[in-house]
Structure 1
Amino acid sequence: MTSTPIARPATRDEQRLAPQIHLERLLNIQEIYHEPDAFQYARGQEILSQHSNASLIEVPSHWNIPDLHGNEGSVDDWTRIKRTVLVLGVKKSLQARPNSRSSDFVAPSHANGCAMACSYCYVARRKGFANPITVFVNIERVLGYLERHAKRQGDKLEPNQVDPQYWVYEIGENSDCSVDAAICDNVKDIITLFRRIPNSKATFATKCVNRQLLSYDPQGKTRIRFSLMPAAKAQIIDVRTSPISDRINAINDFVEAGYEVHLNFAPVVYYEGWLDDYTDLFRQLDDTLSDRAKQQLQCEVIFLTHNDRLHDVNMGWHPKGEDLLWQPDLQETKFSQTGGKNVRYKRGLKGSLVEQFQELLHQEMPYCTVRYAF
């Protein structure tokens, strides 16, 4: 009788190497769609030099690309497009939109779209049937706007649930900054900017571990929120993201590198046995986190909101994920501020689920403060 060998735990060096291998596999840029003026900017020239073999396709606007946006046939090439296509645009309108949950303000985008393919992602339903990364090459204009906007706010005189001391700017609403940082230095430039702004800090949520960010020296002025869910479900709906274990294993290193690190439990998906899976996740976190990481830890909890149009798109490329996400018997319609038809767990059910989640978290990780849950 032959015994089954026991798997050897990964060494620390292997844990650190695996995320970079994943990141390298995410992108293989072969086509660059670009606005006419994109290469007049230094950032555009830098990106072009890194992908000199890519085909260049000039377009009038990063929002007006018939081969990508609105092309229903591209659903069949969903992940290939994310891996091989890059769009370069020039950011025209700049606005810091007020917020009250993860940040005080949403910063003007330095990028949108993503190389990953989470099947619940709302950005896909805004951009149509393809959603590759768009990088804005006029980053200096974004940086200047942010610095002026923060200066106008003055000191933060009253603490709130976002932060007790600083005005917080969300810099990754429409993209994942960890992946964006693998393309160019836009994210590094923004983190460097907030390091010197006295009254503000940056924040972004991420599902990707990019250890290049460990060298950015944020000095406590950038808050990363690592998004987590049970690993077995992440393999189904967190498509092309870093494994949950890689994200957890990175937390201590990012704290040591000067980041504030919070957790983003989102989206929380209800299914039979969900609390058992979250118990395992919380215990994995508790076993891994250093005392320093635990002392500064907070989290946000966001239950699933889905969308009928996104459901239709997903059925064309990843129907398996919809078995988890699309549950009409448990969900009710909610119209968004922009008129979109979303679905969420029914009112009475959702309240109960939120309460159960918070009770379990407090039991397993009492040091982890919930900043907000809904």
Structure 2
Amino acid sequence: MEERGRGAGTRGARPLLEIGRIFHEPDVAAYERGREILARFPDAERVEVPSHWNIKGLHGNEGLVGDWVGIKRGVLVLGVKKSLSCRPNGRSADFIAPSHSNGCAMACAYCYVPRRKGYANPITTFVNIGGIMGNIERHAKRQGLKMEPNQVDPRFWVYDIGENGDCSVDATVSDNVRDIVDLFKELPNAKASFATKYVNRDLLGYDPQGKTRIRFSLMPEGISKVVDVRTSRVRERIAAINDFVEAGYEVHVNFSPVIVYEGWRADYTELFAQLDDALSTRAKAQLACEVIFLTHNAGLHEVNLGWHPKAEDLLWTPDLQERKVSQNGAPNVRYRTGKKGRMVKLFEGMLAEHLPYCTVRYAF
């Protein structure tokens, strides 16, 4: 299950993407970004489809579960984003920006995005980037200045630009991410933000000027090797933080998802020590974090059993979990009420002891 691509720091590994087939909506080539992407993968088979969201033979095809990783490596979907609205958030960001992509080439076993598609979740890139950026710009202008600090940011309205994918990987497909980073440099009252598990050093040349926040997701290395399939190793993410700070990014960390297992407290204590040893004074001074305990899903559990059952030994623990409806109305399973609250407080206490300079923006 351990596979890494370009930018992840591993010699001889297969590329993260080897695009052999592109499913695309009919209007994709009418957009400059669509033509650019098609030209980037000239040898790929092109299959026209009426919609990026429901591709016959790809989405909902139970027989594909055994090729879960192969599809992520070899298939790309191109579409035109229809809904361009910004949505309120209040946790990682003030607002969720309209997605410039959906899906991911990586294959984290706990990822919520494939729950809605089923059996296949390659990258979908949206080619109408001008419309997406225009909506963000207009929305930010309507907000005016941020008059009161909040837990998201004391000064800027923060827009999550990677809710349904990983922007570091998306940047290997097109210039959508670079264009959005450039946009936020020009917005006087707003900042971009995205979480990532992939070290793409090409982003170091984007010159974000403090207007993009990258959140590197971290967990103990041994557990990450099981559930973070096709990602950069945790030690590589930690090693990249100082460089991204020097390149002009605000860099936070996500302890997400926190998975409870025998020995988890000792493993996180070791992780905190690794982080403390690696970070520069400048990186420590601007550091903050999010703490998110695992949420899982019965449907995703069944999918995972078809391609990566070892991960479910960690993720599916009925003795510790209970059913709960999430904010978006989805029926999921989370650690039991009461027990989870105690674990969150315990985690925050460990953080305060070992990384006292790391502000906890929120924990749940």
Tell me, yes or no, whether TM beats 0.5: yes
Q: Give the aligned residue type for 1:90.
A: V
2:256 is matched with 266
1:142 is matched with 132
Structure 2: how far apart are the matches of 1:356 and 1:132?
37
Structure 1: how far apart are the matches of 2:65 and 2:8?
29
Structure 2: how far apart are the matches of 1:348 and 1:58?
51
The alignment status of 1:165 with 2:161, answered yes or no, reads: no
> Gaps spanning 5+ residues in structure 2: where?
1-5
Q: Retained in 2: the 8 A contact 1:109–1:171?
A: yes
RMSD: 1.3
2:195 is matched with 205
1:254 is matched with 244
Deviations 1:101-151 (A, max 9, x none): 010000000000000000000001011110000000010111111111100
Q: Give the aligned residue type for 1:60.
A: P
SS in 1 for 2:338: helix
Structure 1 position 336, deviation (Å): 2.6
Alpha-carbon spacing, 1:137–1:20, altered in 2? closer, same or farther (3 Å):
farther
Deviations 1:293-339 (A, max 9, x none): 00000000000000011101111111000000000011010023444
The alignment status of 1:226 with 2:216, answered yes or no, reads: yes
Query: Equivalent of 1:275, from 265, 275, 283?
Result: 265
SS in 1 for 2:356: coil
Q: Retained in 2: the 8 A contact 1:20–1:209?
A: no
Q: Retained in 1: the 8 A contact 2:7–2:201?
A: no
Q: Tell which deviates more after alignment, 263-272 or 332-341.
A: 332-341
2:141 is matched with 151
Q: Tell which deviates more after alignment, 334-343 or 202-211.
A: 334-343
Q: Give the aligned residue type for 2:176.
A: N
Structure 1 position 22, deviation (Å): 8.6
1:244 is matched with 234
The alignment status of 1:235 with 2:242, answered yes or no, reads: no
Q: Give the aligned residue type for 1:45.
A: R
2:121 is matched with 131
Structure 1: how far apart are the matches of 2:15 and 2:82?
32
Q: Give the aligned residue type for 2:119.
A: F
The alignment status of 1:112 with 2:107, answered yes or no, reads: no
Structure 1 position 93, deviation (Å): 1.5
> Gaps spanning 5+ residues in structure 1: where?
1-15
Deviations 1:187-220 (A, max 9, x none): 0000000001000000000000000000000000
Structure 2: how far apart are the matches of 1:24 and 1:322?
26
Structure 2: how far apart are the matches of 1:46 and 1:124?
27
Q: Give the aligned residue type for 1:288.
A: A
Structure 1 position 223, deviation (Å): 0.3
The alignment status of 1:190 with 2:180, answered yes or no, reads: yes
- Give the aligned length: 359
Q: Give the aligned residue type for 1:256.
A: E
1:7 is matched with none
Question: Percent of pairs identical after alignment?
Answer: 67
Structure 1 position 20, deviation (Å): 7.4
Structure 1: how far apart are the matches of 2:58 and 2:272?
40
Structure 1: how far apart are the matches of 2:327 and 2:282?
40
1:323 is matched with 313
Alpha-carbon spacing, 1:200–1:51, altered in 2? closer, same or farther (3 Å):
same
